[in-house]
Structure 1
Amino acid sequence: MDPMSGNLTNPVEPPQWNSKPAWKLPGWAEPVIVATILFGAMILTRRRGYRILGGKPGPYRSYLDSSQTDSARSSDELLAYDPENEDDAQEYTAATKQLPKERRICGVLVHTPNTSRFKNNIHSRILQRFPFLIEMFYWIINYAFYRMTSILSQRLFAATGIWAVAEAHGLAVLEAEQFGWLSVLFPIQEKDVQQWFMHGHQDALTVLNKVYALIHIPGTVGFIAWYYALAPSHPTFATVRRTMTLTNFFAFIIFIFYPCMPPRLLPKEYGFLDTVRHDDAQSVWMSGKYVNSLAAMPSMHFGYAFCIGCTLLYHSGIFRTKLEKGERRKNLFWKTFYLVLGLAYPTLILTTIVATANHYFMDAFVAFCLVVVAFFCNKIFYVFLPLEDWFLWLLRAEKPIPSTGERFRELGFRI
């Protein structure tokens, strides 16, 4: 690696820090922000007209199931099956017969337990009242898998030393960007971006450090909450959720088998500055014993941002000639708002991850590719539906019907 990496060294004179270290958010603040977003979304998307306790449950149709509303209906009635707002290819099985569910997985017919018999259990009724709880559970699983990548990667490279391996991989990324066949895609070097901010734009870099630390998790969680509430249909929301989740799992595999040191942790002779350490810009979610600090490749900051940006562009309706059922055409203000935000957010995150030396340009490019692949392959998660059925059966719980978009379409909002 020495002959090769020698071409990459370009020591720079460390500029003086003129800006003071940024203010530090208390350690408890981030969890409070995320919890507020999640529980706020849970309340906002709650099933209206449905009580957890009391009353005799019976068939009920939501506002979206009929062109007319009936305010006299009992608030205790259970929702009937809504095929227009269901996701994950679930097939309806009559609750009265309690027949096994039929799942087709890769062309194979699989029978799983019908959990509708548990619809009146208290935890089922809580889920029916607050269906967003299911989404919260999915993302807890995601975060748990991320935490495991550090442990698995360290064990895999215990003999050779994961730090040395990650450094070699980081240098290999730099070498590929500058001298490889893909170098035409990377005309600007990461160190040049960071040095531009360090010379005369340090206050802006301080802001970017905080953007890196504070937007990734709260911003992504906020997006999930927002789109669950406003998506034109739950299948559309579920497509985005599955795409982001599958991108996660692709990235987790790479984290384990290709640990990669971020530029800021490379030896100083490669010209990168650890601005994160200066501003103490480390997210509480990305610190602690099980955090994988050698997971630069790919950049999930940019992967999430790109997926969110594409969703915002789709939601604007500008690039669609046909809207979904029940969706209304947005006015010029909202179209422009989503268009600008959809382009600006990924651009901001890309600038942030490079300027703070947390990622290479290649990390963002690989994340972009993974999102595209995940979008076209997101239905692979259907193979886990039988497992979900069995898990719910063990819990004696019925999966709730999602409430995506109901409240806002009921009120006639066009946002």
Structure 2
Amino acid sequence: MGDTTVSSLEGRQATPRPAAEDRTGNTLLRRMRTPRRPRLWFEVLLIAVSYWTYSLIRNAVPEQRHEALRNADWIWRTEHHLGAAVEESVNHAVNQVGWLIIGMNYYYATLHFVVTLSVLVWLYRCHPGRYAAARLVLFATTVVALVGYYFFPLAPPRLMTGGTFVDTVMVHQTWGSMASGDLKHMSNQYAAMPSMHIGWALWCGLTVFALARAPWARILGILYPVATLVVIVATANHFWLDAVGGLLCLAFGFLVARLWYGALPYALPQWVPGTRGTPVLPVKT
């Protein structure tokens, strides 16, 4: 009996602690990866600080003018080789319609921020269980874009040397671009690849299309990134290949959210404890 008691005690002493430590670590990881109710003050602060940091880093990237112009020539030659160098034709055609191009200048300057913030607010109020994951997609997309700005400086079409592109902001005296006119010194003019106008617009459009119930809202979700593509090309602020770069950045953002939460944002529960609906189940590790 004595031997049995000793071996039993030794067995109890040998196993519990590692198991307890594993449980603690797994529990903490599950809590971090489980959607929870967002806090308004934290989200406002996080978005403000994040965008300020992004702008600071983006504008701190050296404006490598010669390399940016050389890259623009390479992009332009590549598009010609593909038989899809349409930017100049679109730019000239739309510039002939005054009210249209002026509207596009203001579209470029405002909706990029207004629509993105509006979708974030809508997610916060109506889809709190999906908000953090969707926000992570947007943040990861924006952060990886900084890599492109640093390693591939690119001049927009309107700044190409020897080109015939029209800088629509300068010609029509609007404030449709932070990189034109009196505001050009406040923004890095050679951070065109990838296009975050497209990255953010696609994020907004996919989010609205996936989660909105009204058919008209879902249609607008599809049309918004399409309209944004037309605008960035017509105003000579981007090549269409910059839009492809924005799409790839967004794909990276969705991959990060999928790996962290174990599901795409739109597949997560709509509500979290503290709002309404059933409690959220922990994300599987």
Structure 1 length-normalised TM: 0.51
What is the aligned counterpart of 1:140 among 48, 73, 97? 48
Specify the code of the residue in structure 1 equivalent to 2:147.
I
Q: CA 1:103/1:274 → structure 2, altered by over 3 Å: closer, same or farther?
A: farther
Measured against aligned partners, the alpha-carbon deviations of 1:325-355 in whole angstroms (never above 9, x if no partner) come to xxxxx4xxx1x11221111111111111000
Alignment of 1:59-98 (within 5 A): none
**2:83 pairs with 1:190:** no
User: Is the Cα–Cα contact under 8 Å of residues 228 and 404 in structure 1 kept in the other structure?
Assistant: no
Residue of structure 2 equivalent to 1:219: 115
SS of residue in 2 equivalent to 1:270: coil
In structure 2, the residue matched to 1:247 is 141
Q: Which amino acid aligns with 1:266?
A: M
CA distance in 1, matches of 2:184, 2:274: 37
Partner of 2:248: 369
Distance of aligned partners of 1:104 and 1:147 in 2 relative to their CA distance in 1, 3 Å threshold: farther
Determine whether 1:292 maps to 2:171: no
Task: Provide the rounded CA distance (Å) in 2 between the counterparts of 1:207 and 1:227.
Answer: 28
Quick one: which amino acid aligns to residue 265 of structure 1?
L
TM-score between both structures, scaled by the size of structure 2:
0.73
C-alpha contact 2:138 2:253 (8 A) present in aligned 1: yes
Q: Alignment partner for residue 378 of structure 1, among 234, 254, 257? A: 257
After superposition, where does 1:55-204 map in structure 2 within 5 Å? 102=24, 131-154=39-62, 162-179=64-81, 183=82, 187-199=84-96, 201-204=97-100
Query: Match for 1:360: what amino acid?
Result: F
Decide whether the 8 Å contact of 2:178 with 2:186 is kept in 1. no
- Matched letter for residue 102 of structure 2: T
1:274 is aligned to 167
Count of matched residue pairs:
238
In the other structure, the counterpart of 1:347 is 226
Instruction: Report if aligned partners of 1:149, 1:292 keep a CA contact under 8 Å in 2.
Output: no
> How many angstroms apart in 2 are the aligned matches of 1:255 and 1:404?
40
Aligned to 2:237: 358
- The one-letter code matched in structure 2 to 1:367 is G
Report how far residue 164 of structure 1 moved.
1.1
Distance 1:276 1:288 in 2: 11
- The residue aligned with 2:154 is 260
Measure how far apart 1:279 and its partner are. 2.9
* Residues 262 and 103 of structure 1: CA distance in aligned 2, closer, same or farther (over 3 Å): farther
Task: Find the counterpart in structure 2 of residue 73 from structure 1.
Answer: none
Matches within 5 A, 1:31-42: none
C-alpha separation in 1, matches of 2:95 and 2:59:
35
Q: How far apart, in 1, do the equivalents of 2:176 and 2:25 lie?
A: 44
**What is the distance in 1 between the residues matched to 2:132 and 2:106?**
30
The letter for the 2-side match of 1:225 is V
1:253 CA drift (Å): 1.3
Conserved in 2, the CA contact under 8 Å of 1:147 and 1:292? no
What is the rounded CA distance, in whole Å, between the counterparts of 2:25 and 2:80 in structure 1?
49
Question: Is 1:312–2:208 an aligned residue pair?
Answer: yes
In 2, are the aligned partners of 1:242 and 1:379 still within 8 Å (CA)? no
- The secondary structure found in structure 1 opposite 2:61 is helix
User: In structure 2, what is the Cα distance between the partners aligned to 1:289 and 1:191?
Assistant: 25
Letter in 1 for 2:222: L
- Three-state SS of the structure 2 residue aligned to 1:238 is helix
Q: Which moved more, 1:280-289 or 1:143-152?
A: 280-289
CA distance in 1, matches of 2:77, 2:136: 34
